[in-house]
Amino acid sequence: MEAPPGGNARIVVRGLHKVFETASGQVVVALQDIDLTVRPGEFLCIVGPSGCGKSTFLRLLAGLERSSAGEIRIEVTRPDRPVNSMVFQEQSTFPWMTVRQNTAFGLEMRGVDRRVRDELVGYYLRKIGLEAFANAYPHQLSGGMKQRVCLARAFANEPEVLLMDEPFASLDEQTRILMQEELLRVWEGERGRTVVFITHSIDEAVLLADTVVVMSARPGRVKATFAVPFPRPRGQLAQLKLQPEFAQLTYKVWEVLRDEVLNAQAAELKAWART
């Protein structure tokens, strides 16, 4: 699934379907006819009501699950590098590895030379404020620190595409705000890495993204796309929130999303009435 380099798209998704069959034999259409294009170096956020299949979509992009129909093409510019690295919502640092070993894991698995590896790992540990914890085990760290390790691990792997599945959803709000700024600081410092970021928070999507995609209630489809006009680097995100454009844009996204959340509730009610 490679596209010739030099195109204007890093990720192209065409007619993507994903159908599940539950244990009780019920057929669930998780994703229906998704078309999406992500430009090289674009930061794209997907918001949608819970259960709309946005996590499933990301797992398909990551190759952790197979699609039922349709195609996903991710342009490969450097064949020696991995196509994607994922940051999960759940705590996913390996408990049996130190922070340094966790961060180096992807590089080690693809046989990167030890010197290069140490250098890259050291660079991202410094950049993400983990240097002091390099030899700690994850159980000695707070939730926010563990998620930093996952960010460092994904960045250090130097993938074509970074995939993030609600990476900050389980953090407390204060930590989350700092982590959002931190992510942008690292990412903006090396423009050119493509990001697909899943979230249920409209604020988060508008603060971080170049493009916000709203997904519909199940079956998940692309409902609307918004361009975010704020210049980069975005700096203090709390200040960004004070701008009237921010309020307007989040309201527009919410207007679209609101219908979908109501649809999702109606569908749940109908399914419940049937049982």
Binding flag, residue 115, another protein (CB under 8 A) = no
Q: Which is nearer to another protein, 62 or 261 (CB)?
A: 62
Binding flag, residue 167, another protein (CB under 8 A) = no
Q: Which of 166, 246, 225, 229 is nearest to 200 (CA)?
A: 166
Binding flag, residue 105, another protein (CB under 8 A) = yes
- As measured in angstroms, the least distance from the Cβ of 82 to another protein is 6
Binding mask 54-93 toward another protein (x if CB under 8 A, else -) reads --------x-x-----------------x-xxx-x-xxx-
Task: Using alpha carbons, list the distances in angstroms from residue 140 to 27, 101, 145, 146.
Answer: 43, 15, 10, 9
Please identify which residue in 32, 56, 147, 157 interacts with another protein, judged by CB under 8 A. 157
- As measured in angstroms, the least distance from the Cβ of 150 to another protein is 8
Site residues (CB under 8 A) for another protein, limited to 125-144:
137-139
Q: Write phi, then psi, for 171 (nearest 5 degrees).
A: -95, 155
In the DSSP assignment, the letter for residue 138 is G
Q: How many residues bind another protein (CB under 8 A)?
A: 23
Binding flag, residue 153, another protein (CB under 8 A) = yes
Cβ atoms of 192 and 4 within 8 Å: the answer is no
Residue whose entry in the numeric block shows the structure tokens 């074509």:
160
Question: What residues contact residue 219 under an 8 Å CB cut-off, 6+ apart?
Answer: 29, 30, 31, 32, 53
- As measured in angstroms, the least distance from the Cβ of 49 to another protein is 23
Binding flag, residue 217, another protein (CB under 8 A) = no
162 by Cβ neighbours in 10 Å (0-12 / 13-18 / 19+) ranks as buried
Q: Which is nearer to another protein, 85 or 211 (CB)?
A: 85
Distance CA 151, CA 153 (A): 5
Residues in contact with another protein by the rule CB under 8 A = 62, 64, 82, 84-86, 88, 90-92, 94-97, 105-106, 109-110, 137-139, 153, 157
